[in-house]
Amino acid sequence: MILTRCWSSLGAGLRTQSSSIDIAEERFTRNYQHIVRAEGVSLSYGNVRALSGIDLAVGRNEIVGLIGDNGAGKSTLIKLLTGVVRPTSGRLFVRDRAVDWARYSVHEAHRLRFETVYQEKSLGDKQPLWRNIFVGRQITNRFGFIKVAEERRIANDLLLRKLGFRGVGIDADSAVVKLSGGERQGVAIGRAMHFDADLIVLDEPTVALAIGEVRKVLDFVRSIKESGRACIYIEHNLAHVHELADRLVVLDRGHLVADIKAGEISLNDLTKFLLDLQHRPPATAAVG
Amino acid sequence: MMESVVQPRQVAKPSRSWHKAAHIEGLPIIVVLLLLVGLFMAAAPGVFLRWPIYLSFLTTVPPMLVLAVGLTMVVAAGEIDLSFPSVLAFSGFLFAWAVGATGNAWLGLLLALAGGAFVGFTNGVLIAVVGVPSIITTIGTQFFWAGVASILSGGMSDALQQLASGSLYAVFAAPLFGVIPMQAVWAVGLTILMWFILNRHRFGEHVLFIGDNRNVAKVVGINITRETVKLFTLMGLLGGFASVLLTLENLNYFSTQGQGYLLPALAGVFIGGTSVFGGTATMVGTFFGTFIIGMLEAGIVATGIAGFWVQAIEGVVFVVAVILHLVVESPAKLRAFAGMTGRWHRTAPPKPEIDGSRS
């Protein structure tokens, strides 16, 4: 119903936006092969090795499905790619250019037009939606005071016009705590859309959602592809990720154990592969 | 086929006027303040129907108000600072020392502010960089800086009568137009500034998100470490300023001058409606809450009730005010309470499970 409108208009918004922005920002339109590429990235927390020598490249218009059991390192890997955490070693390239870890942060990732939608920790519960949409990159005057009227206006435009929240009584001043799981996801994805990302990272976007809403998220992932963007998609449901992704990357206890083109493996074989993984010993002795 | 889960809400909404009233910042506490003043006027008309008592509040409350607006920011971030009484002592000492040594009260002000900021900065580093929880850090630094102030001052007090004729006194403590104490003007101005910092500045928004949910704050790109250090430095700076207001008003420094401020200043924040859980805060509430705390004792004594009733009554006012905030913020709580006692069964239907309220 409402969300049908919401998601489909999201997709439409993405498609129309891409063309105009590409002309406007030449900096990001130069030719590159990979929107993001990690080389030999490792991360340890004390003695625990969360990631071991990961090589991963995401093409500029590719949907990469990231799969693996709980604790395989999926979330850690995307946190690393989006500037939330720094690796112990390894290199990162964005649009084929090396990134200096010391200067890489969430802020920098935003500037490079990476957006992340987390399953449930994307929004501050007690804050109104206008704050949630702009936090971290507020519209301010030169003394750092927020231009509330402007943020509110843009937020309302996004929520009411683009996301179709008018019917459910949600506007820029609503607190997140009043929203359902699907509505939260809509806002988080809407935020990614507003800032016009080239890479959208979705961390289990469908976990808290009802079946009807899941369909809409999947449609949205398709629209990312159609609009020429890239996407890293973490998903537990193998059928969904197998259906959508161009490429499947499997992590197991911090190691990248498979990197498969979607067409080259059937859903059954993929399921069997993942089940077998659980009975195998850790990939190397370095783990733990 | 399953349909969308976004159904029009069936949860009964409270009436619109109730909703609007709840959105006036600090309204419950303003009502409590007016009620109390009304009570005091009725019980002690000789005192509360005449203006000198109110002018006296305008000289006694400002140091506490300056502390409370800083604490409001700290609590909004989900942190706590218990070390500010020692900043009153330590910065007060620096001020008194500079005045005694150089005769320059403005230098004393600068030194007091710098000393307070330094204490706050070290608090911030211990909390945000080293990772010691703020309640533990500031219990420790509270002892430490109180001790330092005692050692440096030798436990002595320091009469500073010479300040009364100086320019610093004229700016920060003398009555404006011969009526309104300047410290009240400064404290009110500071409260307004801090309202804008909290509600309209990038820094305030970061503080609110840190208090709301640290994980969210992190993934939206807030530098939690830096903002926390800034926050505690600001608190220390305000503590330093409060110490100067206090010392100027007393024209006397004593090394225990911070004692007795800890709980009243915190009470002012919480009575005002700021949540101890962080993520929401109200400067307006803190403003009126601090005045309630500041006038309760004088008010109770003026009504002729014996002095040992003061604390018990303060306790009752505190609890009633906090409950009032809860009721205004979420009327559902009142219904839940009514349901508990079995008198009212028209409780709202349970919220759907898809609420995602697991975090």
B284-309 tens-digit pLDDT: 999 999 999 888 888 888 877 777 88
Q: For residue B251, what are its two tokens?
A: 């024209």
Which stretch of A24-33, B58-67, B348-357 has the lowest confidence by average pLDDT?
Answer: B348-357
pLDDT of B247 higher than 50: yes
Q: Are strands A199-203 and A97-98 parallel, antiparallel or unpaired?
A: unpaired
CATH label of the domain that carries residue A79: 3.40.50.300
pLDDT of A194 higher than 70: yes
pLDDT of B242 higher than 50: yes
Q: Which domain holds residue A6?
A: 2-29+62-86+113-126+175-279
CB pairs below 8 Å between A and B: how many?
125
Which stretch of A234-243, B21-30, B116-125, B199-208 has the lowest confidence by average pLDDT?
Answer: B21-30
φ/ψ of B300, rounded to 5, equals -65, -45
In angstroms, the CA B173 to CA B121 distance is 28
Kindly state the percentage of chain B with pLDDT values over 70.
85
Enter the pTM of the model.
Answer: 0.80
- Residue contact A121–B352, C-beta within 8 A: no
For residue B226, give every residue at least 6 positions away whose Cβ sits within 8 Å of its Cβ, in sequence order, or none. B128
A93: enclosing H helix or E strand: strand A89-94
Identify the pLDDT of residue B199.
93
ipTM (interface pTM): 0.77
pLDDT of A62 higher than 60: yes
Cβ atoms within 10 Å of A101's Cβ, excluding its own: 15
pLDDT of A3 higher than 70: no
Judge whether A70 lies within some domain.
yes
Flag whether residue B20 sits within 8 Å of chain A, measured between CB atoms: no
Q: Write out the E strands in B82-191.
A: 157-159, 175-176, 180-181
Contacts 24+ apart (CB under 8 A), A86-89: A86/A43, A87/A41, A87/A42, A87/A43, A87/A51, A88/A42, A88/A43, A88/A44, A89/A40, A89/A41, A89/A42
Judge whether A106 lies within some domain.
no
In angstroms, the CA A153 to CA A46 distance is 46
Return the exposure string of A30-53: e unless at least 16 CB atoms fall within 10 Å of the residue's CB, then b. eebebbbbbeebbbeeeeebbbbb
Identify the pLDDT of residue B95.
92
pLDDT of B135 higher than 80: yes
Count structural domains, chain A.
1
Residues B216 and A124: beta-carbon distance below 8 Å: yes
- Residue contact B2–A144, C-beta within 8 A: no
pLDDT of B124 higher than 50: yes
Q: Is the dihedral of CA A273, A278, A281, A282 positive or negative?
A: positive
- Residue contact B354–A182, C-beta within 8 A: yes
Identify the pLDDT of residue B202.
93
pLDDT of B36 higher than 70: yes
- Residue contact A116–B219, C-beta within 8 A: yes
pLDDT of A260 higher than 80: yes
Which stretch of A116-120, B29-33, B231-235 has the lowest confidence by average pLDDT?
Answer: A116-120
**Model confidence over A107-148: pLDDT tens digits?**
888 888 888 887 667 888 889 989 988 888 888 888 889 998
Selected residue with higher pLDDT from A90 and B155: A90
Nearest CA in chain A to B210: A124
Selected residue with higher pLDDT from A207 and B356: A207
- Residue contact A136–B279, C-beta within 8 A: no
Identify the pLDDT of residue B338.
65
Provide the chain B residues 230-269 that lie in CB contact (below 8 A) with chain A. none
Task: Give the amino acid at A38.
Answer: A
pLDDT, average across residues B258-271: 88
Kindly state the percentage of chain A with pLDDT values over 90.
2
Among the partner-chain residues A126, A144, A148, the one whose CB lies closest to the CB of B280 is A126
Identify the pLDDT of residue B17.
56
Among the partner-chain residues B3, B6, B219, the one whose CB lies closest to the CB of A168 is B6
Measured in angstroms, the CA of B192 and the nearest CA of chain A are apart by 14
Identify the pLDDT of residue B339.
65
Identify the pLDDT of residue B331.
67
pLDDT of B355 higher than 70: no
Identify the pLDDT of residue B144.
95
